[in-house]
Structure 1
Amino acid sequence: MGEKGAMAVSELLCFFITLAVAVIVGTVFYKLGFPAGAMVGALIGVSALNILTGWAFMPAAVKNLTKTVAGLFVGMSMTMEMVRNMKRLFKPVIVLVGVIFTLCLSAGTLLYHVTGLDAVTALFCVAPGGLTDMTLMTMDMGGDAAVVAVLQVLRLLSVYCISMPLARILGKKLGGFVHENPKSSVEKKPLSREEKRKGMVLAAVVALIGGAVGLGLAELLHFSVLVLIGAMVTTAAVNIKTGKLYMPKAVRRAVQILSGALIATGVTADSLEKLKTVILPAVFICCGFVLINLVLALLLHRVCKLDMATAVLSSSAGGATEAALAAPDLNADPSVVSVLQISRLICTTSFYPLLVQLLYQLL
């Protein structure tokens, strides 16, 4: 066997070891109920593997596949019902996205100046998007994805531990949404096995086409985030038109595991030393997001006339699914929360990297 053949076998073995560690540790963290457990577990497990042995390896093609599937899930959150709701919620969406972008970019700039973090890392640490998407974008733009992943997890924890209880308290004091019917007036018909199969195939084909177009544009424009955006745009367009796309939740967990493993392949002993410096940024981010949440909620309540519980939950920079599921229990309007949260997520995925690139050139 030649030198190239031996190297290929070695890389293949390292890939399978990396994948096995990521799946095992990611699954354990997910089962324990840790926030973003699949991704965080894979990140910790593969980081340990890489620091102790240096064996962690993921092929370049896995990164593009991961970004494509991540874009698929963001795009699938767009439905015709959401587009209809956008008409009456246009003003709250503009207020939410405009203010949260301004505050987060300002906070990221301040974080860059008061800590030793580079500009890209600092700006993505406070990005109000999805954990998987933001860490993948950080990698693409040359930032420290491990630091971003840690601080984004802390951001999510601050949302679950502070923002959701805050929505309940303020909703009781200042008024919450009155549920005339606790059950949705439009019950979704469960999909048959055949419908799920066809929906999965269609979703996969559409996302791969979008990802391939995005990859071509990314190579042309030297902006690799376009792979994720391409998959997101095509998936959203087809899902709005047909509403027939489907992908099991297990695939989302698989993407989170792969994303965690990808980030961890760049984690070394030096990276671990660098993580000790994020204590100040962590406190800054947790306090900052609670403050941003309150400012946005008051604006939505006063300017857009949303009830306070709905305003607080809609402006919390956590998971869109978790916020919508928690809405009925917190006396918030789940339909409004869903539209505003998903609008924030899609706008962040589409436009935040462009703003980061512009700011990076200025800083």
Structure 2
Amino acid sequence: MPLPFSPPIRARILCLVLGALGGGVFYLLHLPLPWMMGAMTLTTLAAVSGVRIAMMPRVRMVFVAILGIMLGSAFSPQMLDHLQNWAISLLWLALYVVVTTYLVRLYYIHFAGYDAVTAYFAAAPGGLSEMILAGSAFGGDEARISLAHGARILVAVFVLSFGYRWLGGYTPTGASAAAASLPLDIVDLLWLGGAGVLGFFGARKLRMPAYALVGPMIVSALLHVVGVTASRPPAELVAIAQIVVGSMIGARFTGLPLRLVLRGILLAVGATAVLLIVAAGFGFAVDATAGVPFGSALLAFSPGGLAEMSLIALALGVDAAYVSSHHVVRIFMIVVAAPLVFRLLRHKG
């Protein structure tokens, strides 16, 4: 008797089922950020064990857009008073991007044996898909660039989740400071839903990097800053978003040889250690010069993905608006500057 779904659909559904199961286990064990960590762990183990799971890009986009609305609702009119401090922090961020790209590039060349092109785009802490496309266009190894960024996000999420819980004393609430309890008023739902739809399609039309998250976040932030609405998405959506995002991290390793994945993760441990050490140094600098708490600055400078770091900030009650804004700016910096800088460096030999 034929199965009701084609193999790709079964693989995608299995990915989310395993993600929810892993999240539930981590939740029962009272581990930090259980829904994302559990989903990421179980789907990664399944992928490297040969289980056929697959990403669901459209489902991920929906929940990433909801996450963007949540992050936008963390903005408030009072934040306008802190723009000067944020500007100082963003200047430090620009320097951080330059320093870490240079150091991690050297790491991948001399320690991993990567060629110069692959090492450069594997080191640039930008969007995963953008760096893969740019790196392959310049002749880099697409598989190694993809694995470097995917493994870096995996390692960063693990280290930061447990580090903030055990060393920083942060206690995940399971919800977020930027979320509300169900139900919401119909007017609130219309405002938030409109922000998501307008932001998503507007940012896609403008070809913004990470448009599914950045667009809804910008529109939602504008609505909250000008005082049109103070409503926030339901807290229950945070857990679902964690499951989806965590599952998609694990699904990236499907079909890759176990030996290649393990080597990529080991290399990512070293690269992430360099990034986090430098991020900690810049975190102290931001704390001293801009008055931003070290815990917020470290998470804003940490080498994870935009969606993943934003979810950690939401779950831990760290300043989500500050953290997400810095990761958005970092991605814009890298996506715009990385190819231009590489052309300049290659032209000069």
Distance 1:359 1:71, change over 3 A: farther
Q: What are the ranges of 5 or more consecutive residues in structure 1 without an aligned counterpart?
A: 128-133, 166-187, 328-333
The one-character-per-residue Cα deviations of 1:245-275 (angstroms, maximum 9, x if unpaired) are 3112321221221122223333236353223
For the 8 Å contact 2:200–2:213, the answer to whether it is kept is: yes
The one of 258, 265, 284 equivalent to 1:297 is: 284
Please give the root-mean-square deviation of Cα atoms over the aligned residues, in Å. Answer: 4.2
Secondary structure, aligned partner of 2:256:
helix
Instruction: Note the C-alpha offset of 1:112.
Output: 3.6
Distance 1:236 1:49, change over 3 A: same
Count how many residue pairs are aligned between Structure 1 and Structure 2.
312
Aligned equivalent of 1:330: none
For the 8 Å contact 2:33–2:315, the answer to whether it is kept is: no
For the 8 Å contact 2:89–2:286, the answer to whether it is kept is: no
The one of 191, 205, 208 equivalent to 1:202 is: 191
For the 8 Å contact 1:25–1:41, the answer to whether it is kept is: yes
Amino acid at match of 1:199: D
For the 8 Å contact 2:33–2:312, the answer to whether it is kept is: no
Rounded Cα–Cα distance in structure 1 between residues aligned with 2:72 and 2:103: 28
Distance 1:46 1:96, change over 3 A: same
Distance 1:210 1:157, change over 3 A: closer
Aligned equivalent of 2:259: 273
Larger radius of gyration: 1
The one-character-per-residue Cα deviations of 1:112-166 (angstroms, maximum 9, x if unpaired) are 4333574444333xx6xxxxxx66877887623531322222451585279748x
Aligned equivalent of 1:113: 109
Aligned equivalent of 1:40: 37
The one-character-per-residue Cα deviations of 1:309-349 (angstroms, maximum 9, x if unpaired) are x553343126679779989xxxxxx9xx7775454244235
For the 8 Å contact 1:215–1:226, the answer to whether it is kept is: yes
The one of 85, 88, 97 equivalent to 1:92 is: 88
Moved more, 29-38 or 245-254: 29-38
Aligned equivalent of 2:151: 147
Rounded Cα–Cα distance in structure 2 between residues aligned with 1:191 and 1:300: 30
Instruction: Note the C-alpha offset of 1:238.
Output: 1.6
For the 8 Å contact 1:100–1:296, the answer to whether it is kept is: no
Distance 1:161 1:43, change over 3 A: closer
The one of 236, 248, 256 equivalent to 1:262 is: 248
Distance 1:290 1:284, change over 3 A: same
Aligned equivalent of 1:15: 12
For the 8 Å contact 2:70–2:217, the answer to whether it is kept is: yes
The one of 211, 221, 240 equivalent to 1:236 is: 221
For the 8 Å contact 2:184–2:234, the answer to whether it is kept is: no
Secondary structure, aligned partner of 1:20:
helix
Instruction: Note the C-alpha offset of 1:211.
Output: 0.9
Percent of aligned pairs with the same amino acid: 14
Amino acid at match of 1:258: V
Instruction: Work out whether 1:24 is the aligned partner of 2:11.
Output: no
The 5 Å alignment of 1:1-363 reads 9-52=6-49, 54-87=51-84, 89-90=85-86, 92-114=88-110, 115=112, 118=118, 119-124=120-125, 143-144=146-147, 146-157=150-161, 160=164, 164=168, 195=184, 198-218=187-207, 225-241=210-226, 242-268=228-254, 270-277=256-263, 278-298=265-285, 300-301=287-288, 303-304=289-290, 306=291, 311-317=293-299, 340-341=322-323, 343-358=325-340
The one-character-per-residue Cα deviations of 1:289-310 (angstroms, maximum 9, x if unpaired) are 2343234414652x45x4xxx5
Rounded Cα–Cα distance in structure 2 between residues aligned with 1:275 and 1:262: 16
Instruction: Note the C-alpha offset of 1:23.
Output: 0.9
Distance 1:18 1:113, change over 3 A: same
* TM-score, normalised with respect to structure 1: 0.67
For the 8 Å contact 1:71–1:228, the answer to whether it is kept is: yes
Rounded Cα–Cα distance in structure 2 between residues aligned with 1:345 and 1:97: 9
Rounded Cα–Cα distance in structure 1 between residues aligned with 2:96 and 2:186: 38
Whose helix proportion is higher, 1 or 2?
1
* TM-score, normalised with respect to structure 2: 0.69
Q: What are the ranges of 5 or more consecutive residues in structure 2 without an aligned counterpart?
A: 135-141, 170-176, 303-308
Secondary structure, aligned partner of 2:298:
coil
Amino acid at match of 1:100: Y
The one-character-per-residue Cα deviations of 1:10-34 (angstroms, maximum 9, x if unpaired) are 4444433332211111232244343
Instruction: Note the C-alpha offset of 1:35.
Output: 3.9
Rounded Cα–Cα distance in structure 2 between residues aligned with 1:149 and 1:325: 17
Moved more, 265-274 or 249-258: 265-274
For the 8 Å contact 1:92–1:300, the answer to whether it is kept is: no
